[in-house]
Structure formats: structure tokens, C-alpha cells
Amino acid sequence: MKISANKNQKFIENFKKGLKRPNYIFPYIYQRYKSWKNNKETEKIRKKINQENLIWHFCTPKSASSYLVHLLILNNKKHASSIPYWSDRQQVSDFSFLFNSIEGQKFKNSKWTTVHHQLTVYDSFLEKYISEKHIAIIQFRNIYKTLLSLKDYIISTNIINNNSWVKWDHEKYNDKDILKLLIFNYVPFHVKFIKTWVESKIRGKKIFINYESFIKNEKHYLEKIFIGYDKKNIIVPEIEKIDKKSIKLNLGTKRENTLSVDEKKLIDEIVDIYTKHSDPIIKSLIYEKS
């Protein structure tokens, strides 16, 4: 009996100590509670995002996305971001970050909120945050020109390893080596980007924008994006008058395809295996020129 009493006393003492640290007493219950609370908050954020009039902007690099963002901001007062600064990490939406960004814009008088461009493939989790009240812009560029432009950009700006596509020793790799690294590392992303967005079943409206078509007729695409806007009020400034310091802008429709036969063959092989059993429209968009 004495031993039993000591055990009970020890249990009571430990229980009292544990009251100050409930996760030590009821680890499973506490974990379930925290999970329930987090899920409830996540669902609350998802529903509020779904209720907003959002224009999502998804893109591949070097597709005039910065230029489109500039035009979206000129024509719309409310703009947000779902991507915190990730440096050389792959871009993944942070919906709590997006929600807070939207909340910070709520007193601005504008029907739409544009969500700044992001290099993000479609997935079923992202789908939950895109409602029938949303528009999804999918902006892209011909795969050959994208690779050449991306290679030139990386080399000319001396980005070196501060990017999510390739890592290399800049003192040992030449331009051809860097391009080959890009082909192996970037092309799968480009294909998956277009493939997943074409095949996606989102509730909102999808607008596909090709680089060459866009820079030849910006107003046409802005009219498709801003439904209900008076066409006379849509702003498209002269490119020469845009402050080049404020955005990354280097437009040009006459880029020559300087890829070698072997480089093109390698790109085509990667595209072929990824699109072997896919809708032919996917490959046509990957190679689309205008």
C-alpha cells in the first residue's frame, strides 16, 4: 500500500509539473489539437482567397512576364504576391503570405487583385486556391528562344549559382557547357509547366499568352484579362518611355536560333519523352513562335 501511495504521489507531482507543458502529458492529443487548429486556419484562408477577384500570373522565365506585370500594375491598383523572396529556391506559393498581402490592399478601390508572376507548375494543392472568380494567366515562350535568352541573362548578369536552374563553377564551364546544363535542368520544368496548365481542370478562366504574340499586341491581351473594363481606359505606354531601371525589360522578337543541331536534338528528345502520350497542343505550345 505504501508503494502504491508513493506512486500515486509521484504521478500527481509529475502531473502538476506537466500542466505547465501540456505537450509532454498528452503529446498525441496536443498534436491532434494543433493539427486541427492549423487546418481550420488554412481552410479559413483558402475560402477568403477563393472569394477574392484574383488574376493569377504564372509564367516561364524570359517570357516578357516583368513587362506584363508592369502593365497589370499600371491598369490595376491592387496587386499582391504569393511568393516570399526565395532567392535561388524553386518558387512555391505561400498562401498565408498571399492572404496577408491581399489584406494589405483591401482599401484600394479596384475590382481585381493581380497576383504577381511566379514560375510555378500546376498541382492539385494549388487548384484548391483558384476559384471560379479567378483568372489564371499562363505566359510562356518558345523553348529554343527561352533557353538562349536564359543562358544570355545568366551569363551577362553574372548570376553564377544564384538561380534555381543550374549550378556550375564559372571559372571552369564555358558558354556551351552552361547551355547544356540548362537543357538538362530547365527543359523538363518548361515542359511540365505547359503540360500541367493545359491539362489542369481549374474552376477559373485560363488565358494562355505567348511571348511574341503579346509584345506585338499588348492591348489585345489586357482586354481579355480585364473583363468589364472600358477599353479606352486600358493603358499601354510606349516601350521607349518605360523606366528600364524599374523592371527587367529587354524585349526583342528577332532573336536568332543559334542552337547547334546536337543541342536542338537534345532538347527535342527531352520534350518528346515528356509529351509522348500527351495532347498534341502541348507540344505545339512548347514550340510556338507567334
> What percent of the chain has pLDDT above 70?
76
Q: Where are the beta strands (DSSP E) in the chain?
A: 54-59, 78-80, 113-118, 135-140, 205-210
Same domain, 157 and 174: yes
Domain count, the chain: 2
Same domain, 110 and 182: yes
Same domain, 1 and 144: no
What's the average model confidence in pLDDT over 247-272? 81
Instruction: Lowest mean pLDDT of 33-47, 58-72, 174-188, 238-252, name the range.
Output: 238-252
Same domain, 106 and 241: yes
- Give the Cα separation of 267 and 282 in Å (integer): 15
How big is the chain, counted in residues?
290
Same domain, 47 and 174: no
Question: What's the pLDDT band for 94 if we cut at 50, 70, 90?
Answer: confident
Do the beta carbons of residue 223 and residue 234 sit within 8 Å? yes
What pLDDT, in 10s, does the model give residues 76-87? 878 888 877 666
Same domain, 46 and 66: no
Task: Give the predicted TM-score (pTM) of the model.
Answer: 0.82
Same domain, 56 and 45: no
Same domain, 1 and 96: no
The CATH number that applies at residue 269 is: 3.40.50.300
Asked if the model's pLDDT at residue 2 lies above 50, the reply is no
Same domain, 3 and 89: no
- At residue 16, the pLDDT reads 66
Same domain, 24 and 56: no
Structural domain harbouring 23: 1-51
Higher-confidence residue of 25 and 151: namely 151
- Give the Cα separation of 264 and 144 in Å (integer): 8
Same domain, 94 and 152: yes
Same domain, 56 and 46: no
Higher-confidence residue of 146 and 79: namely 146
